[in-house]
Amino acid sequence: MPKGSFPEVEIVEMTERHLDAVLKIEHRSFVAPWSRRLFQETMSFPLSLSLVIRKKVDKKVLGYANFYVIAGEVQILNVAVAPEERGQGYGRLLLSRSIDILRSRGAKLFFLEVREGNAHAIELYHKLGFRKVGRRRKYYTETNEDALVMRMKTDKWTGSTT
């Protein structure tokens, strides 16, 4: 789990007031970014959880994650950290705390798709306990890349350390 302490940040539920910052990160992070409307629809869906990690002092959004939670299974929909904030442990902190929150609500299995070429994300997911369970050929139509399907069972989760 994340090393060190992160007293300068907090993880809160995503709201409309976060969307301008979230969309800036989204557009800098993905070839086919989500629209404002898609974020709004996801936040309003009763079986979803959307979180942001932000600085406590100035409320600057550093990253975000969106999840669907259905019958004890979690689909990780979207995760990103601002490019200038990457490599500092914020993504790992956000995901580990999110997993803790979702486990406390009864989640047993976590799934995600990740671009086959996204080595940094794949490494992070492995460190969190995810394992490859499949492949979706040409899943990312804008680049013709395959997606790796990864799964984590909560019995493999050791919990966050912060």
pLDDT at 19: 98
Asked if pLDDT for residue 1 goes beyond 70, the answer is no
Give the pLDDT confidence of 70-90 residue by residue, as tens digits.
Answer: 999 999 999 999 999 999 999
pLDDT tens digits, one per residue of 21-50: 999 999 999 999 999 999 999 999 999 999
Looking at the annotation, which residues are catalytic? 113, 125
Confidence of residue 6 (pLDDT cuts 50, 70, 90): confident
**Nearest Cα to 94, choosing from 129, 126, 131, 53?**
53
Predicted confidence (pLDDT) at residue 8 exceeds the cutoff of 90: yes
Ramachandran angles phi, psi of 4, nearest 5°: 85, -175
What SS3 state is found at 77?
A: strand
Domains belonging to the chain, first-starting first, are 9-156 (3.40.630.30)
- Say what the pTM is: 0.90
